Amino acid sequence: MKLGIVIEIFKNVFTKPMTVLFPFERIEIPERNRGEHEFNIDTCISCGACARICPNLAIKMIEVPSELREKYPKTYPQVDLGKCCFCALCEDICPKGSIKLTTNFYFATFDKDDTILYPVKAE
């Protein structure tokens, strides 16, 4: 019994720790991880299905800024990450695959307005 503990201690001295040194090493994030949204406005058909299924009402269909309205005349989804629960129902329901959840999960910010994802960024 006591010898078993000694053997275990020696084993643990020579094995790698369970944790990683975070900023220098990172654990692998799987492909399916549900993180920040990636939106492709060019394939979007403005069907509004993502806004319809969103359980937290985080997606709202809005118009793009006036200077881009000629190119994108319809309404497009704007995601409020403050309300989002990262369920990926919008990804599943999108008929064109325009909205996708990526592996990025670094959301910390100092400005509340940064948490809103606009369909296109105004210049």
Partner 1 sequence: MTEINEQEIAGDFSMYFGPAHPGSGNFSIKVEMRGERVLKATADPGYLHRGFEKLMEYREPMQNAVLSDRVCVLEPLQWNLVHAEAVDYLMDYEVPERAKYIRVILAELSRIQSHFIWYAAMSLGTGFMTGFNIAIGYRDYILDVLNLITGGRVYPAGYICPGGVRKDLPEKAENKILELLPKIEYMRKFALKQNPAWLARFKEIGTLTKEEAIKFGAVGPILRGCGVESDVRRDDPYEIYDELEFDVPVMDEGDAYARFTVGMQEIEESMKIITQSIDRLPKGEVKTPNLKPIVQFQKAEGEIYIRNELSRGEGAFYMVATGQKTPYRVKIRGPSFTHMIPILEHLLTDVAYADVPAIYWSMYQCPADVDR
Partner 2 sequence: MSSNSKNISLEEKLIKNLNSKLGVPINFQKERRLWTSIDSDKIVDICTKAYEMGFEHLSTISVTDWLEEGKHELVYHLWSYSYKLLLTIKTKIDRKNPNISSINSIWGANAETCERECHELFGVKFEGNPNLTPLFLEDWEGPPPFLKDFNWREYVKEEMYDQNNPREEVYFEVKK
Residue 92 engages partner 1 in binding (rule: CB under 8 A): yes
> Is residue 38 within a helix (H) or strand (E), and if so which, with residue range?
strand 37-39
As measured in angstroms, the least distance from the Cβ of 108 to partner 1 is: 18
Collapsing DSSP to helix, strand or coil, 115 comes out as helix
Footprint on residues 61-100 left by partner 2 (CB under 8 A): 80, 82-83
The whole-angstrom separation of Cα 98 and Cα 42 is 8
**Beta strand extents in the chain (DSSP E only):** 37-39, 59-63, 75-80, 99-101, 116-117
Footprint on residues 60-89 left by partner 1 (CB under 8 A): 85-89
Scanning 27-35, 36-44, 68-76, 106-114 for contacts with partner 1 by CB under 8 A, the matching segment is 27-35
Write out the two tokens for 38.
């990636």
State the binding partner of 82 from partner 2, partner 1, none, CB within 5 to 8 A by kind: partner 2
Residue 36 engages partner 2 in binding (rule: CB under 8 A): no
